[in-house]
Structure 1
Amino acid sequence: MKVLRRCRIAGLALVLCLPARMLPAQKKKTGTTVITGATDRAYWSNLLYKMASPVILNLANGTLKKNMPVEVPPGARPEGYEKVTHLEAVGRTMAGVAPWLALPDDSTIEGKQRHELRTALLKGIANAVDPSSPDYLNFRTEAQPIVDAAYMAQAFLRAPKALWEPLDTLTRRRIAEEFKALRTRTGAYNNWLLFAGINEVFLWTIGEQPDPVRIEFARRKIQEWYQGDGWYSDGPSLSIDYYNAYVIHPMLVDFFKVLAEKKRIKQEEYETVVKRMVRYAEFSERIIGPDGTYPPIGRSITYRTAAFQALGMVSLMEKLPAHIAPAQVRCALSAVMHRMYDQCNNFDTNGWLVLGFCGHQPMIADDYTSTGSLYMATLGFLALGLPADNKFWQDPATDWTSKKAWSNQPFKKDYHVTY
């Protein structure tokens, strides 16, 4: 797989293109550079660090609200967004980096990045729920915090030893109180049911009394909205977009995992939602074009690489179907990242994400989107939670399905499944 590394984004001390002496060794073959799994991983980790560090480091320093721009869709006023956008940035970033930060420290450049961000995030979480902090985040008003608390909850569920257990007793108690305060509001009759449900099961895992009605309503309705062949409708009607990846499959699997552990559902129910996510992940892998592009369809396309959260999560769980090699997912997702983040400037001069899909395109932002919303993009990096010696990173580069299909190679036919 040929990849041209480019340095086009300024504003942070650490950029994607490291000096050659700092990059993992590359194999050479007949004068052509072959990118290895190690160089792919270095690219991913540097990109995720670049994306997440403005949010995490500013939160740790109590300067998130001061320094984070609040870009909104054309014609919108920022006042209403300012009440919710900072929690959006924090919750979504936490959910994306959690598996990566859960890895143990080591002396590599990546290990030092993880240690820095983990240490800063623990400090930042304390600031986020401290009423005396300038970065005290809003859980108490508006409906939107239900959503972004849920991503924070998902982060704690994904990396409890890294992000929950090290917190001091006062911070834990404050987090529990903020989450319980969310019960004064409700949200939309769609994927929002999952947000309320996962907030409650998170409270359950930390010894608080959950609201069984919110849990049961989410459990029943999401299953009723399953349409077949790996697709859920987002509410009563089907939407062709990426919400099955942004929210539904990954959050439902994490939600049901807790319910199974608590004996609220049978293990078979959990295994069924996992199988459905695996099936959806097959579609996700197939839509990545030979050049790393994918269709900009549906709502919220400004969430960028979050469109591949389900594929990354299936890879992280090591549950890819036998016909999809881990290395082909690595190569496909690397191609997406290079296409999106090298060839389009998605960051401003201070390293914050800008409204758009591939570059600054504010006119395509939905009316609920602001700067903080964009950090959903970190959810596309879940496979970084696999250690560097995993076959996902170690196996040789492999063509993905569409690249095989468009280059006269054999590839597996696709058929409907019934679970």
Structure 2
Amino acid sequence: MTYDPASANPLANNPLKTREDMSLALRDLFDPLLPYFSAGNARVRLDGAAAHFDRAAADLEGFARPLWGLAPLGAGGGDFKEWHRFAEGIANGTDPRHPEYWGTVNGRDQRMVELAALGFALALVPEKIWEPLGGRARDNVVAYLKHARQFDYADNNWKFFRIFVDIALDRVGANFDRSLTRQYLEELEGFYIGDGWYLDGNVRRIDHYIPFAMHFYGLIYSKLVDDDYAKRYRERALLFANDFKHWFGADGATIPFGRSLTYRFACAGFWSALAFADLEALPWGEIKSLCLQHLRWWKDKPMTNRDGILSIGFGYPNLLMSENYNSAGSPYWAFKAFLPLALAEDHPFWTAAETPPVETASVLPQRHPGMVLMRSDGDVVALSSGQENLQMRFGTEKYAKFAYSSRYGFSVESDERNFAGAAFDSALAFSDDGLHYRVRETNREAKLAGEVLYSKWSPFPDVDVETWLVPAAPWHVRVHRINTPRPLQTAEGGFAIARRDFELDMLAAEASSACAIGEADFSGILDIGSQATRVGLAQKAPPNTNMIVAKTLVPQLRGEIPVGQTILMTAVLAANDTTAVTGAWKNPPKAPDIGELEELVASQGVTVSAFKAPGQMP
């Protein structure tokens, strides 16, 4: 082979055990960008694909985002020979008379996002990118930052971006209106919901933006500023760490969930930020393990293009799953994972021996994101009550499936007119014409009762569905009560597993079950007592729909439900063990009593924080 996608990954041969390993990883990931710096070094353009914002802002994104890792490297005394590019680029990018000027901010603008990285770098390594500048260039930088900060930032984690600009302005001795800083700090307080958890704005969703944005920025702030807000950020991170550690499997994989997954190992950013902030929220050996093991998980993933440039995608290059705001430079938010490079070699993060977090119960309810986490054979499955994101591309798949797995990820669909061929992993789909389909997009209710999740939703305005999700590790059970005024076709999917070439996988489909056995994995779905007949199908899902692997198999149950009320009961199993077909698969859980589930929700059910109506959070 002339091209091996995995070996093109700059992390492929790095053990990622030590500070020097991490430094080398950062430089190896950054170096492929060098040929794409513009002549004046203010812009980095990686390909012709577009985001919703203008090209100059996309070029700024490619320039600025690596600073989340490079600034810590410089602060920690690491060797980096390209600082002159960033000093020159900042000078030219903020100069209205230069052809590489980044453009003027005239309202809510992507430039606001990228200036946070610039503000962070100015605060952390002014000797690299500020002190080399002449007087006029310095004036331009200050004027550019001050102009941008006068506009209103989005009502979410963006508010931290102006705060980081303000920290930089303070560090370089500029005069500015500090009351605006205080205003945003206070407004950010409105997103806190308790127990270490935030919402990212007035929205019905809690995803990786909580650790790699809200906590990440708060912890950096707590290191750079000493005030009451800094103390709150640290206290909240202590609480959050004990919940978030359960989102990671023993192999370092985290649960892919929500938007912006192209930021990849930014998912380790929370652990990196704890180290940067000198906050031992867990024993240092556990924090180090969570951070580095997650980086190691990416070593064999074909996540880059041939030249080593991080692609848009997750486990592999995939524009299909991207957001409208993803430009080619977007994935470099992944550099947030490199914050520990600011720490000296004798910091306990580096001197501690890695120790995997102690695993507690195999089933862990988390009210705020509306999840019940299950651990089994290294996989972490998050049963999900269902959140809401109707604005983003594939927001339904990213937030409203029944389950998300650290090993099997989830899939987005590629054709809304393909009911017969769609993946529908961890979803229940309805069709009234056999062509178009509807799945859960949002809920009217979402509750957690002990270890059981409950939701009420409507795929069509005249169809009501109630769903109970019950852990039965390594299985989970789904109970659906459907009321419809017309017959509907249904399709319900299990987990998607990797599909091999040459049709080497074993597929089985029967009257009430379906399963697939791949090279390393088993996936199955079983009807355990529905009021409608369903037939098994081992679906060969459309390519490039799954987050982690490009070709997948999804076992499904399909059938028609009549007018009136129908109850569907489903058991789902997936395992990194092909012998599960003669083991766990032969011992399915029993169908639960729906009356007992109703009583449990009525007596113990609490509304999931992520799904409280906007404006109802404290």
**2:315 aligned with 1:349, yes or no?**
no
Q: Deviations over 1:189-234 (max 9, x none)?
A: 2222222233234323322222344323211111122111111211
Q: Percent identity?
A: 24
Q: Distance in 2 between matches of 1:290 and 1:66?
A: 36
Which of the two has greater strand per residue? 2
> Counterpart of 2:66 in 1: which secondary structure?
helix
Q: How does 1:176-215 map to 2 (within 5 A)?
A: 176-183=142-149, 185-215=151-181
Question: Which amino acid in structure 1 is aligned with residue 27 of structure 2?
Answer: Y
> Counterpart of 1:271 in 2: which secondary structure?
helix
1:87 corresponds, among 43, 57, 60, to 60
Q: Distance in 2 between matches of 1:280 and 1:57?
A: 40
Question: Which amino acid in structure 1 is aligned with residue 356 of structure 2?
Answer: D
Q: 1:7 to 1:225 in 2, by over 3 A?
A: closer
Q: Deviations over 1:358-382 (max 9, x none)?
A: 1112211111111122111000111
Quote the residue 1:317 is aligned against. 277
Q: How does 1:17-96 map to 2 (within 5 A)?
A: 39-55=17-33, 58-59=36-37, 61-62=39-40, 65=43, 67-72=45-50, 80-96=53-69
Contact preservation (8 Å) 1:230, 1:280: yes
- Cα deviation for residue 115 of structure 1 reads 2.7
Quote the residue 1:159 is aligned against. 125
1:252 corresponds, among 218, 223, 229, to 218
Q: 1:70 to 1:320 in 2, by over 3 A?
A: farther
Quote the residue 1:169 is aligned against. 135
Q: Flag the structure with more relative contact order, 1 or 2, with Cα contacts below 8 A and sequence separation at least 6.
A: 1
Q: Distance in 2 between matches of 1:204 and 1:242?
A: 30
Q: 1:55 to 1:401 in 2, by over 3 A?
A: farther
- Cα deviation for residue 95 of structure 1 reads 2.2
**2:81 aligned with 1:116, yes or no?**
yes
2:248 corresponds, among 288, 294, 303, to 288
Q: Distance in 2 between matches of 1:308 and 1:281?
A: 12
- Cα deviation for residue 304 of structure 1 reads 1.1
Quote the residue 1:414 is aligned against. none
Q: How does 1:245-394 map to 2 (within 5 A)?
A: 245-255=211-221, 260=226, 267-321=227-281, 324-340=282-298, 342-394=299-351
Contact preservation (8 Å) 1:52, 1:378: no
Contact preservation (8 Å) 1:302, 1:365: yes
Q: Distance in 1 between matches of 2:38 and 2:68?
A: 17
Q: Identify unmatched segments of 5+ residues in structure 2.
A: 363-374, 378-618
Q: TM-score, normalised by structure 1?
A: 0.75
1:101 corresponds, among 56, 62, 74, to 74
Question: Which amino acid in structure 2 is aligned with residue 364 of structure 1?
Answer: M
Which of the two has greater helix per residue? 1
Q: Deviations over 1:325-350 (max 9, x none)?
A: 3233223322212222x221121122
> Counterpart of 1:83 in 2: which secondary structure?
helix
- Cα deviation for residue 312 of structure 1 reads 0.6
Q: TM-score, normalised by structure 2?
A: 0.53
Quote the residue 2:552 is aligned against. none
Q: Distance in 1 between matches of 2:32 and 2:330?
A: 14
**2:358 aligned with 1:401, yes or no?**
yes
Q: 1:144 to 1:121 in 2, by over 3 A?
A: same
Question: Which amino acid in structure 1 is aligned with residue 337 of structure 2?
Answer: G
In angstroms, what is the RMSD of aligned CA positions?
3.2
